[in-house]
Protein backbone atom coordinates (compact mmCIF):
# COMPACT_ATOMS: atom_id res chain seq x y z
CA UNK A 1 0.00 0.00 0.00
CA UNK A 2 1.11 3.55 -0.65
CA UNK A 3 1.55 5.93 2.27
CA UNK A 4 -1.60 7.75 1.20
CA UNK A 5 -3.59 4.51 1.09
CA UNK A 6 -2.37 3.65 4.59
CA UNK A 7 -3.43 7.06 5.92
CA UNK A 8 -6.82 6.73 4.24
CA UNK A 9 -7.28 3.29 5.80
CA UNK A 10 -6.40 4.70 9.24
CA UNK A 11 -9.02 7.45 8.80
CA UNK A 12 -11.63 4.85 7.84
CA UNK A 13 -10.69 2.85 10.93
CA UNK A 14 -11.15 5.88 13.16
CA UNK A 15 -14.51 6.59 11.51
CA UNK A 16 -15.60 3.06 12.33
CA UNK A 17 -14.30 3.29 15.90
CA UNK A 18 -16.08 6.62 16.50
CA UNK A 19 -19.32 5.33 14.98
CA UNK A 20 -19.13 2.25 17.16
CA UNK A 21 -18.56 4.40 20.30
CA UNK A 22 -21.72 6.31 19.38
CA UNK A 23 -23.60 3.14 18.42
CA UNK A 24 -24.01 4.46 14.92
CA UNK A 25 -23.67 2.74 11.56
CA UNK A 26 -20.38 3.91 9.97
CA UNK A 27 -22.15 3.81 6.60
CA UNK A 28 -24.07 6.91 7.75
CA UNK A 29 -20.83 8.89 7.61
CA UNK A 30 -19.48 10.20 4.31
CA UNK A 31 -15.77 10.94 4.22
CA UNK A 32 -14.73 13.93 2.15
CA UNK A 33 -11.03 13.91 1.32
CA UNK A 34 -10.08 17.59 1.36
CA UNK A 35 -7.60 18.00 -1.48
CA UNK A 36 -7.11 21.77 -1.43
CA UNK A 37 -3.58 22.83 -2.35
CA UNK A 38 -2.77 19.23 -3.31
CA UNK A 39 -2.09 18.20 -6.93
CA UNK A 40 -4.52 16.27 -9.11
CA UNK A 41 -2.15 13.28 -8.89
CA UNK A 42 -2.88 13.03 -5.15
CA UNK A 43 -6.61 13.05 -5.85
CA UNK A 44 -6.14 10.23 -8.34
CA UNK A 45 -4.08 8.23 -5.79
CA UNK A 46 -6.78 8.71 -3.15
CA UNK A 47 -9.45 7.73 -5.65
CA UNK A 48 -7.52 4.59 -6.53
CA UNK A 49 -7.29 3.83 -2.80
CA UNK A 50 -11.08 4.05 -2.56
CA UNK A 51 -11.93 7.71 -1.81
CA UNK A 52 -14.92 9.01 -3.78
CA UNK A 53 -15.76 12.40 -2.27
CA UNK A 54 -13.31 15.28 -2.56
CA UNK A 55 -13.46 18.75 -1.07
CA UNK A 56 -12.02 21.96 -2.46
CA UNK A 57 -11.99 25.52 -1.07
CA UNK A 58 -11.09 27.65 -4.06
CA UNK A 59 -13.20 27.81 -7.21
CA UNK A 60 -10.29 28.39 -9.57
CA UNK A 61 -8.30 25.51 -8.09
CA UNK A 62 -11.29 23.20 -8.49
CA UNK A 63 -11.97 24.41 -12.03
CA UNK A 64 -8.34 23.60 -12.91
CA UNK A 65 -8.09 20.33 -11.00
CA UNK A 66 -11.37 18.61 -11.88
CA UNK A 67 -10.57 18.09 -15.59
CA UNK A 68 -7.05 16.90 -14.68
CA UNK A 69 -8.57 14.21 -12.49
CA UNK A 70 -11.19 13.59 -15.15
CA UNK A 71 -14.69 12.22 -14.76
CA UNK A 72 -14.55 8.94 -12.87
CA UNK A 73 -17.31 6.64 -11.69
CA UNK A 74 -18.85 7.84 -8.39
CA UNK A 75 -16.39 10.73 -8.01
CA UNK A 76 -18.07 13.72 -6.34
CA UNK A 77 -16.60 17.18 -5.76
CA UNK A 78 -17.74 19.17 -2.75
CA UNK A 79 -17.22 22.88 -2.58
CA UNK A 80 -16.37 23.61 1.06
CA UNK A 81 -14.93 27.13 0.85
CA UNK A 82 -16.43 30.57 0.95
CA UNK A 83 -18.16 31.20 -2.35
CA UNK A 84 -18.23 34.60 -3.99
CA UNK A 85 -21.33 35.19 -6.04
CA UNK A 86 -19.34 36.12 -9.14
CA UNK A 87 -17.70 32.66 -9.06
CA UNK A 88 -20.99 30.76 -8.95
CA UNK A 89 -21.16 30.16 -12.70
CA UNK A 90 -17.64 28.77 -12.82
CA UNK A 91 -18.37 26.49 -9.89
CA UNK A 92 -21.64 25.21 -11.30
CA UNK A 93 -19.89 24.26 -14.54
CA UNK A 94 -17.63 21.77 -12.74
CA UNK A 95 -18.43 18.24 -13.80
CA UNK A 96 -19.24 15.99 -10.84
CA UNK A 97 -20.14 18.82 -8.47
CA UNK A 98 -22.08 17.49 -5.49
CA UNK A 99 -22.84 19.62 -2.46
CA UNK A 100 -21.99 23.27 -1.94
CA UNK A 101 -21.19 23.48 1.80
CA UNK A 102 -20.49 27.09 2.64
CA UNK A 103 -23.73 28.87 1.80
CA UNK A 104 -24.29 31.58 4.38
CA UNK A 105 -26.48 34.34 3.04
CA UNK A 106 -29.64 35.01 1.08
CA UNK A 107 -27.82 36.79 -1.76
CA UNK A 108 -25.66 33.75 -2.34
CA UNK A 109 -28.70 31.46 -2.17
CA UNK A 110 -30.47 33.54 -4.78
CA UNK A 111 -27.39 33.70 -7.01
CA UNK A 112 -27.04 29.91 -6.97
CA UNK A 113 -30.75 29.38 -7.51
CA UNK A 114 -30.76 31.71 -10.48
CA UNK A 115 -27.71 30.17 -12.12
CA UNK A 116 -28.46 26.49 -11.77
CA UNK A 117 -31.14 24.58 -13.60
CA UNK A 118 -30.55 21.08 -12.28
CA UNK A 119 -31.24 20.55 -8.57
CA UNK A 120 -28.25 21.61 -6.48
CA UNK A 121 -27.69 20.39 -2.93
CA UNK A 122 -26.59 23.05 -0.46
CA UNK A 123 -25.52 23.12 3.16
CA UNK A 124 -25.92 26.26 5.22
CA UNK A 125 -22.80 27.27 7.11
CA UNK A 126 -23.23 28.41 10.69
CA UNK A 127 -20.59 30.47 12.49
CA UNK A 128 -21.17 29.19 16.00
CA UNK A 129 -18.44 31.06 17.83
CA UNK A 130 -19.02 34.38 16.06
CA UNK A 131 -15.47 34.41 14.71
CA UNK A 132 -14.79 37.40 12.48
CA UNK A 133 -12.31 35.36 10.42
CA UNK A 134 -14.90 32.80 9.39
CA UNK A 135 -17.95 32.87 7.18
CA UNK A 136 -21.29 31.49 8.18
CA UNK A 137 -24.54 32.93 9.41
CA UNK A 138 -25.23 33.46 13.10
CA UNK A 139 -27.35 30.84 14.86
CA UNK A 140 -29.99 33.56 15.27
CA UNK A 141 -30.17 34.19 11.51
CA UNK A 142 -30.40 30.51 10.62
CA UNK A 143 -34.18 30.14 10.82
CA UNK A 144 -34.75 32.77 8.20
CA UNK A 145 -32.02 31.40 5.95
CA UNK A 146 -33.52 27.90 6.16
CA UNK A 147 -36.86 29.31 5.05
CA UNK A 148 -35.20 31.15 2.16
CA UNK A 149 -33.31 28.04 1.08
CA UNK A 150 -36.52 26.05 1.08
CA UNK A 151 -38.18 28.65 -1.10
CA UNK A 152 -35.48 28.34 -3.79
CA UNK A 153 -36.73 26.56 -6.86
CA UNK A 154 -33.56 24.74 -7.88
CA UNK A 155 -31.82 24.29 -4.55
CA UNK A 156 -32.21 21.39 -2.21
CA UNK A 157 -31.43 22.17 1.42
CA UNK A 158 -29.42 19.16 2.55
CA UNK A 159 -28.29 20.28 6.01
CA UNK A 160 -25.79 22.35 7.96
CA UNK A 161 -22.04 22.81 8.02
CA UNK A 162 -19.72 24.36 10.57
CA UNK A 163 -16.06 24.94 11.29
CA UNK A 164 -15.48 25.50 15.00
CA UNK A 165 -12.62 27.59 16.38
CA UNK A 166 -9.22 25.88 16.56
CA UNK A 167 -8.57 24.27 19.95
CA UNK A 168 -5.81 22.12 21.45
CA UNK A 169 -8.10 19.45 22.83
CA UNK A 170 -10.72 18.03 20.42
CA UNK A 171 -13.03 17.62 23.43
CA UNK A 172 -13.34 21.42 23.50
CA UNK A 173 -15.17 21.44 20.15
CA UNK A 174 -17.78 18.94 21.28
CA UNK A 175 -20.23 21.65 22.44
CA UNK A 176 -20.07 23.28 18.99
CA UNK A 177 -20.84 20.03 17.22
CA UNK A 178 -23.68 19.38 19.62
CA UNK A 179 -25.03 22.88 19.00
CA UNK A 180 -25.03 22.34 15.23
CA UNK A 181 -27.00 19.15 15.66
CA UNK A 182 -29.52 20.94 17.88
CA UNK A 183 -29.85 23.73 15.32
CA UNK A 184 -30.54 21.23 12.59
CA UNK A 185 -33.26 19.63 14.69
CA UNK A 186 -34.80 22.92 15.75
CA UNK A 187 -35.00 24.23 12.19
CA UNK A 188 -35.55 20.90 10.47
CA UNK A 189 -32.68 21.91 8.22
CA UNK A 190 -32.12 18.67 6.29
CA UNK A 191 -30.42 15.33 6.86
CA UNK A 192 -26.74 16.27 6.74
CA UNK A 193 -24.36 17.58 9.38
CA UNK A 194 -21.01 18.44 7.80
CA UNK A 195 -18.59 18.82 10.72
CA UNK A 196 -15.24 17.47 11.84
CA UNK A 197 -11.77 17.78 10.30
CA UNK A 198 -8.47 15.89 10.77
CA UNK A 199 -8.08 16.84 14.42
CA UNK A 200 -11.62 16.23 15.61
CA UNK A 201 -13.66 14.10 13.21
CA UNK A 202 -14.01 11.33 15.80
CA UNK A 203 -15.71 13.72 18.22
CA UNK A 204 -17.87 15.08 15.39
CA UNK A 205 -19.08 11.57 14.54
CA UNK A 206 -19.91 10.93 18.19
CA UNK A 207 -22.03 14.08 18.03
CA UNK A 208 -23.87 13.05 14.88
CA UNK A 209 -21.77 14.17 11.89
CA UNK A 210 -22.96 12.61 8.63
CA UNK A 211 -20.14 14.20 6.63
CA UNK A 212 -16.57 14.70 7.82
CA UNK A 213 -14.04 16.80 5.91
CA UNK A 214 -10.54 15.43 6.32
CA UNK A 215 -7.48 16.83 4.57
CA UNK A 216 -4.19 16.60 6.47
CA UNK A 217 -4.81 13.13 7.92
CA UNK A 218 -5.19 11.78 4.37
CA UNK A 219 -2.93 13.89 2.17
CA UNK A 220 -0.34 15.04 4.72
CA UNK A 221 0.44 18.62 5.72
CA UNK A 222 -0.24 21.37 3.20
CA UNK A 223 2.61 23.60 2.05
C1 LIG B 1 -9.04 22.68 4.98
C2 LIG B 1 -10.41 22.38 5.43
C3 LIG B 1 -10.71 21.13 5.98
C4 LIG B 1 -9.69 20.04 6.24
O5 LIG B 1 -8.81 20.41 7.24
P6 LIG B 1 -7.72 19.37 7.81
O7 LIG B 1 -7.38 19.93 9.14
O8 LIG B 1 -6.57 19.40 6.86
O9 LIG B 1 -8.36 18.05 7.90
C10 LIG B 1 -12.03 20.88 6.32
N11 LIG B 1 -13.01 21.80 6.12
C12 LIG B 1 -12.74 23.01 5.60
C13 LIG B 1 -13.84 23.98 5.41
C14 LIG B 1 -11.44 23.34 5.25
O15 LIG B 1 -11.19 24.55 4.76
Q: What is the pLDDT of residues 98-137, one digit of tens each?
A: 999 999 999 999 999 999 988 999 999 999 999 999 999 9
Helices and strands of the chain, counted as H and E runs = 9, 8
Q: Is 175 helix (H, G, I), strand (E, B) or coil?
A: helix
- CB-ligand 1 contact for 134 (6 Å cutoff): no
Residue among 85, 109, 92 at smallest CA distance from 77: 92
173: which DSSP letter? G
- CB-ligand 1 contact for 106 (6 Å cutoff): no
pLDDT at 125: 98
Q: What is the pLDDT of residues 195-215, one digit of tens each?
A: 999 999 999 999 999 999 999
Residue among 155, 124, 161 at smallest CA distance from 141: 124
- CB-ligand 1 contact for 84 (6 Å cutoff): no
pLDDT at 128: 96
Please state the atom number of ligand 1 nearest to the C-alpha of residue 163: 13
Q: Whose CA is nearest to atom 6 of ligand 1?
A: 215
Rounded alpha-carbon distances, angstroms, from residue 18 to 60, 92, 161, 209: 34, 34, 19, 11
pLDDT at 1: 85
Q: Quote the pTM value.
A: 0.97
Ligand 1: centre distance to CA 55 (Å): 9
Among 162, 177, 215, name the best residue to mutate to test ligand 1's pocket (greatest count of ligand atoms within 8 A of Cβ): 215
Q: Is 21 helix (H, G, I), strand (E, B) or coil?
A: helix
Amino acid sequence: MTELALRLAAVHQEIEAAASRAKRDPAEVTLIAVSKRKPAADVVSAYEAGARHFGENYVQELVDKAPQVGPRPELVWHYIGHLQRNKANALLAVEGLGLVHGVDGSKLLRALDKRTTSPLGVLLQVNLAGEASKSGCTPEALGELVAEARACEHLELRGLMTMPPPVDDPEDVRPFFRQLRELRERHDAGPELSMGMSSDFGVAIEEGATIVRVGTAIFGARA
